Amino acid sequence: MPAKMPLDAILAALFPAGHAVTVAEGLITGEGPFGDGRLVVVGIDGDTALGVEGALMLSRAVLDAVKAGESSGSRAPILVAVDSDSQRMSRRDELLGLNECLAHLAKALLLADHLGHPTVGLIYGHSAAGAFIATALATRVLAALPGADPSVMDLPSVARVTKLPLEKLEAMAASTPVFAPGLDNMVATGAVHVVLDPGQPLDAQLRALIADLPPGDIRDRLGRERGGRPVAQVIAERVVSQARGT
Amino acid sequence: MESLTFRHTTQKALPGTKREAIIGVVASGNLEVLLERVLAPDACEIAIETAINGYGDVWEAVVADFVARAQPGGLRISVNDGGARPDTVSLRLLQGVRLMED
Amino acid sequence: MAVTSASADPTRLSWYEASARQRVAAFLDADTFQEFVGPAERAMSPHLPLFELPRAFDDGIVVGRGRLDGRPVLVAAQEGRFMGGAFGEVHGAKLVGLLRAAGAVTPAAVLILFDTGGVRLQEANAGETAIAEAMRAIAEVRAAGIPVIGLIGGRAGAYGGGGLIAGTCARLAVSEGGRISVSGPEVIETNKGAEEFDSRDRALVWRTMGGKHRRLTGGADAYVADTVAAFRQAALALIDRAPAFDLATLEAEQARLEARLARFGACRDGAEIWVRLGVNDPDAVPAMTDAAFAETVAGVPEASHDAR
Amino acid sequence: MVAWRNERAARDARLEAGRAFADGKVVAAGSVTDLLEAVLRPGDRVCLEGDNQKQADCLARGLAACDPARIHDLHMVQSGIVLPEHLDVFETGVARRLDYSYSGPQGARIARMLYGGQIALGAVHTYLELFARYFVDLTPHVALIAGVSADRDGNLYTGPNTEDTPTVVEATHFKNGLVIAQVNEIVERVPRVDIPGDRIDFVVEADRPFYVEPLFTRDPAAMTETQILIAMMAIKGIYAEYGVRRLNHGIGFGTAAIELLLPTYGERLGLKGQIATHWALNPHPTLIPAIESGWVTQVHCFGSEVGMDRYIRERPDVFFTGSDGSLRSNRAFCQTAGLYACDMFIGATLQIDLMGHSSTVTQSRVAGFGGAPNMGSDPHGRRHPSETWMKAGREAQIVGDPALMRGRKLVVQLVETFGEGLVPTFVERLDAMELARKTGLELAPVMIYADDVTHIVTEEGIANLLLCRDADEREQAIRGIAGYTEIGRGRDRAKVEALRARGVIRRPEDLGISPLDADRSLLAARSIKDLVHWSGGLYEPPAKFRNW
């Protein structure tokens, strides 16, 4: 597996003229000059687990960007950069309503998108489960860098839950992208739209993505085309067409 | 997993006009039964997908008793089984037939 | 308490006990439900056979249209007993398709009857992606002015991605048995140890993520008895009280959740939070009858809001 | 000259040795092992109170920690092998011989240790049988018992779980033995005196409250349609048919379903007051709806049940309670009541053979007996009539002068044809016989012998074995309700139909019951929470049964 590209290097490549993006306790916020305007960056760095405080801090940053867009009339693109753990697993987080906080973060990103902010996810390290859904997966388009390692659950844990031998799961994982961890499988599923080329300027690649945003949610189509989710699009379309019929 | 199919000839068609019904849930020790009125009035086909291998003769007996008792002529019955006991299978089959008779 | 005969009024059916199909049939106006991609279409999981696992004709979710007090609605109901109601490829695609259809058919509401442990591990990537798709679709449906209402009272609760989808809905109704959470108690215990969360302490589980706790803290907007009729009444009331999906709502939610962390961030237990919310006898909350609990909720301003 | 006081002198010597670790009668929890090493002698018969529920766990830990060089080859004579420590003592050599009754939670380990020869097994008893032997040839030298509280004089309050304690103390104290009690707390004055202080030699204040397992709590949420169907058949085909008023229930889901159907299905059949009024039974939470609906006149208990204490206190018309208000249970008396004063025992089992012998033993588990064989036997010492008993007697009577007829106790096995994991309940040969062969037991551990069984109820029907006139009929009656097990499929269909025509076999439809009506909505309570509601909030279920 290629090495993970560090956040510093990513930011340097995105903002050749410098930026005001900071990382505090693993939470990324800030912005920098981008093309004619600015690029807002939020995210998670350093394999950090996302808890209630972190989710609300990121959602605050997203809503601030939306507010700025309201007043300026210019909808800045929002980049959600992720190298995270899963959601923080603790009694306290659940007690305080982690599901609401994560959903709120996702809703903030979806609202930004709805109001015209281009939203782009960038997974450059690990991410999993609720943290992934609330961040990078809540953007219009999700890009990855080689070395990214998204997953829902690692294979030993899958083995424990499904009571299948690890060796068998490993063998199955080689041919079945639908359950196995790893970037290639998330690409095949359609969750990750594109893998960027670290050898080319990142800012240009990002600008190209923003210029050519898909019109809506095309992840199930990608999943069918790439073979990682063979039937989802067909089923969803069948539901839509039956619902539209009388 | 094991697939089993049984075909029976019945003495009569199952009364009622309902085209389709489903009962039960696939879970441990439980099953779902999908009934469709798509066959000739004296024919019944029962296709089973079961999670537990090696009980073909028990299924055969359960199905034969069910057909003799319910006379489900005209029905194609499809079963997804999560390892239900024979009495649960019989019960679900009868519950399904009752829905089709409505 | 329900002491009913087999032929009793189906709306008195226990929500917790009922199957997804029973819930839908008894929840909607009688005989109005029309299913999309029904069981006879045999839209089953293409992946479960690899794991030697049995499939279900509906992949554990029922979707379709019907009427609620005469108003047209779209409805999805998860079957918590099949694979824990978990999101697989087909399961998730059916929900996503229903939500996308809402934009075209403009129902009075979309109702999601949650009963899920989250992502189906055997189809984890498909399930996780479908959850993201569903959340995006809900945002679009809500932005179009159509309320999306979640109902939670099944045996599997609303866990994992299910908890996130629930948090994306405009309104939520929950019963005592309903649980809403991201990580389940067993998952937390497995990862962090029994000192962090003893999953066998059921009372603790419910104080942490159960229906009463969620209602008192504003994590759900209605608390209902465990009957289909009660959920139906709650859904009808919530449809007309759904907040808009706009900046004002999300700013209000941001403030609401920040205030929650500030006030209760140091609490270790649900009962501590209830005290700070002004509940006189927090130890009595778990055993409270539905009526007494409704009275308690009425005295807690934080429980009711438009910030979701 | 013959010495007549050797035992008394030995007892006094033990007492004296023990006093070094006591303040009066009171011993600190940390000194238990020292105390035991002082008072025990190699080869002693020791009763370590392990009841069905209440466990002298602090004393068990102390005993397990004894130095096997000093204390060894003990002969344990106790009803329950429940805690790991109960078997640890055999691994260290502290104990060698064992006579016991019940070993549910340790059933697998005890089987391994029996096969491995680590335990010299005397016998697996029924409760009453073991209690009886305490007074004849298994009298303990030392008894280690458990109670809720004691005063400094040793007056003991057992709490609602009195269970075996009076019997054990009676046999030990009055025959020169030493009694050591662990209590949760030492108090100025006990709520009531269950055991007078002069029968208690040492009192240990335990480091934590004694362990009690909620053995009798069956969650209505887990009851299946099949169990409900079987319960409906039992109520209509047996309780109503024989007018069974005085009875004992086993602890399975089937009988719990019956308890929950009394106020609904039973009410509908007009049976209130006609059946199930007087009970020998632990305080089953699932009996609450029937009690609250006025079905139950009285209940005597073997022991208590976790969470039921407050409820019982508020229902003294129904339960036996002390002057302090809490339940007074007594296993020996309740077993006797079940044996002689009940007209029916109904319970489940794991295996039934073609004659109707039943056993809960499998080759990998030796669960022991507990009380079922007493309850589930027809006592030849009974001399009082009842309608139920006489009707059963008439059905069984085939020869002789009717004036010399005696009644029969109903012994009913309530089973599903397949158990967990599709394991058939009906078998050609009981696993118990293989176990007996492998471990060299003289008696196969049969739970209930065929000649005691009067009825078997499965989801397929009721077999009335009283009406069977020969072994072949009996076999076909059993095959005829054995469903799709190999035994069931091996039936002679013509013979089975003939038995059905005679009423020996009755199918649900013969009883006017449709399997399609067996619905969970018939249960008076469908969850533990419902039981709490029925009890008016008095029932306090343990955490693991809560869903709120």
- The CATH number of whichever domain residue A66 belongs to comes to 3.90.226.10
Q: Does C21 touch chain B (CB under 8 A)?
A: yes
Average pLDDT over residues A104-129: 96
Return d(Cα D206, Cα D488) in angstroms, integer: 53
Average pLDDT over residues D135-162: 97
Q: Which residues of chain A have a CB within 8 Å of the CB of C133?
A: 217, 219-220
Q: Does C54 touch chain B (CB under 8 A)?
A: yes
Q: Which residues of chain C have a CB within 8 Å of the CB of B25?
A: 19, 56, 79, 81-82
CB B61 to CB D416 under 8 A?
no
How many B×D Cβ pairs under 8 Å?
40
Of the residues C31, C35, C50, C58, the best mutation for testing chain B's interface (the one with the most B CB atoms within 10 Å of its CB) is C58
Burial class (CB in 10 A: 0-12, 13-18, 19+), D209: middle
Q: Which residues of chain D have a CB within 8 Å of the CB of B52?
A: 422
Q: Which CATH class is domain D220-530?
A: alpha beta
CB A243 to CB C168 under 8 A?
no
Does residue D289 carry a pLDDT above 50? yes
Span of A8-12, C11-15, D117-121, D318-322 with lowest mean pLDDT: C11-15
Q: Are C62 and C35 in contact (CB under 8 A)?
A: yes
Of the residues B76, B80, B91, the best mutation for testing chain C's interface (the one with the most C CB atoms within 10 Å of its CB) is B80
Q: Which residues of chain C have a CB within 8 Å of the CB of A189?
A: 125-126, 129
Of the residues B60, B69, B85, the best mutation for testing chain D's interface (the one with the most D CB atoms within 10 Å of its CB) is B85
Residue A124 lies in a domain: yes
Q: What is the pLDDT of residue C9?
A: 63
Stronger pLDDT, A157 or D46, i.e. the higher one: D46
Of the residues C19, C31, C51, C61, the best mutation for testing chain B's interface (the one with the most B CB atoms within 10 Å of its CB) is C19
Three-state secondary-structure class, residue B96: helix
Residue A229 lies in a domain: no
Strands (E), chain A: 22-24, 27-34, 37-50, 78-87, 119-123, 126-128, 141-144, 149-151, 194-195
CB C287 to CB D537 under 8 A?
yes
Nearest one of B14, B2, B87, B21 to B44, comparing CA atoms: B14
CB C6 to CB D524 under 8 A?
no
Return d(Cα C174, Cα B16) in angstroms, integer: 39
Q: Which residues of chain C have a CB within 8 Å of the CB of D260?
A: none
Q: Does D533 touch chain C (CB under 8 A)?
A: yes
Task: Name which of B57, B87, B94 is nearest D459 (Cβ-Cβ).
Answer: B87
CB B91 to CB D483 under 8 A?
no
Q: Are C122 and C225 in contact (CB under 8 A)?
A: no
- Domain annotation for chain C: domains and CATH numbers: 10-180+220-245 (3.90.226.10)
Return d(Cα B94, Cα B87) in angstroms, integer: 11
Three-state secondary structure of D470-504: CHHHHHHHHHCCCCCCHHHHCCCHHHHHHHHHCCC
Q: Does B75 touch chain C (CB under 8 A)?
A: no
Residue ranges covered by each domain of chain B: 2-101
Write down the pTM of the prediction: 0.90
Residue A220 lies in a domain: no
- Which strands sit side by side in the sheet containing C71-78, from one edge to the other? C34-36, C61-68, C71-78, C109-114, C148-152, C171-175, C222-224
Does residue A173 carry a pLDDT above 90? no
Q: What is the pLDDT of residue C11?
A: 64
Task: Name which of B22, B34, B49 is nearest C54 (Cβ-Cβ).
Answer: B49
Q: What is the pLDDT of residue B61?
A: 95
Q: Chains with ≥3 Cβ pairs under 8 A against C?
A: A, B, D
- Minimum CA–CA partner of D529 in chain C: C287
With a CB cutoff of 8 Å and minimum separation 6, the contacts of C281 are none
Of the residues D223, D457, D484, the best mutation for testing chain B's interface (the one with the most B CB atoms within 10 Å of its CB) is D484
Chain D nearest C-alpha distance from B40 (Å): 27
Task: Name which of C49, C53, C79 is nearest B25 (Cβ-Cβ).
Answer: C79
With a CB cutoff of 8 Å and minimum separation 6, the contacts of A20 are A30, A31, A32
Return d(Cα D275, Cα D262) in angstroms, integer: 9
Q: Which residues of chain C have a CB within 8 Å of the CB of D221?
A: 17
Q: What is the pLDDT of residue C10?
A: 64
Q: Does C81 touch chain B (CB under 8 A)?
A: yes
Return d(Cα C300, Cα C279) in angstroms, integer: 8
Structural domain that includes position A124: 7-148+192-214
Does residue A246 carry a pLDDT above 70? no
Q: Does B99 touch chain D (CB under 8 A)?
A: no
CB C100 to CB A110 under 8 A?
no
Q: Does C50 touch chain B (CB under 8 A)?
A: no
Q: Write the pLDDT tens digit of every residue in D2-51.
A: 889 999 999 999 999 999 999 999 999 999 999 999 999 999 999 999 88
Does residue D91 carry a pLDDT above 70? yes
Residue ranges covered by each domain of chain D: 25-205, 220-530
pLDDT tens sequence for chain C (308 residues): 333 333 456 667 899 999 999 999 999 999 999 999 999 999 999 999 989 999 999 999 999 999 999 999 999 999 999 999 999 999 999 999 999 999 999 999 999 999 999 999 999 999 999 999 999 999 999 999 999 999 999 999 999 999 999 999 999 999 999 999 999 998 899 888 888 999 988 999 999 999 999 999 999 999 999 999 999 999 999 999 999 999 999 999 999 999 999 999 999 999 999 999 999 999 999 988 889 999 999 999 999 999 99
Q: Which fold has domain D25-205?
A: Glutaconate Coenzyme A-transferase (3.40.1080)
Q: What is the pLDDT of residue A156?
A: 80
Architecture of domain B2-101: 2-Layer Sandwich (3.30)
Touch between D and A (at least 3 CB pairs under 8 Å): no
Confidence of residue D438 (pLDDT cuts 50, 70, 90): confident
Confidence of residue D140 (pLDDT cuts 50, 70, 90): very high
**If you search the block for the tokens 């291998």, which residue do you land on?**
B53
CB C268 to CB A90 under 8 A?
no
Measure the CA angle with vertex D540, ends D534 and D542; round to 5°: 125
Complex prediction ipTM: 0.89
Q: Does B83 touch chain D (CB under 8 A)?
A: yes
Residue A183 lies in a domain: no
Number of domains in chain A: 1
Task: Name which of B87, B88, B94 is nearest D516 (Cβ-Cβ).
Answer: B94
* Backbone dihedral region for residue A17 (phi beyond 0: left; psi -120 to 50: alpha; all else: beta): alpha
- Minimum CA–CA partner of D220 in chain C: C17
Return d(Cα D267, Cα D295) in angstroms, integer: 9
Q: What is the pLDDT of residue C158?
A: 97
Q: Are C95 and C130 in contact (CB under 8 A)?
A: yes
Mean of the per-residue pLDDT values of chain D: 94
Q: What is the pLDDT of residue D272?
A: 97
Q: Chains with ≥3 Cβ pairs under 8 A against D?
A: B, C
Q: What are phi and psi of D503, to 5 degrees?
A: 80, 10
Chain C nearest C-alpha distance from B64 (Å): 23
Q: Does B51 touch chain D (CB under 8 A)?
A: no
Q: Are D358 and D397 in contact (CB under 8 A)?
A: no
Burial class (CB in 10 A: 0-12, 13-18, 19+), D291: buried
CB C181 to CB A132 under 8 A?
no
Q: Chains with ≥3 Cβ pairs under 8 A against B?
A: C, D
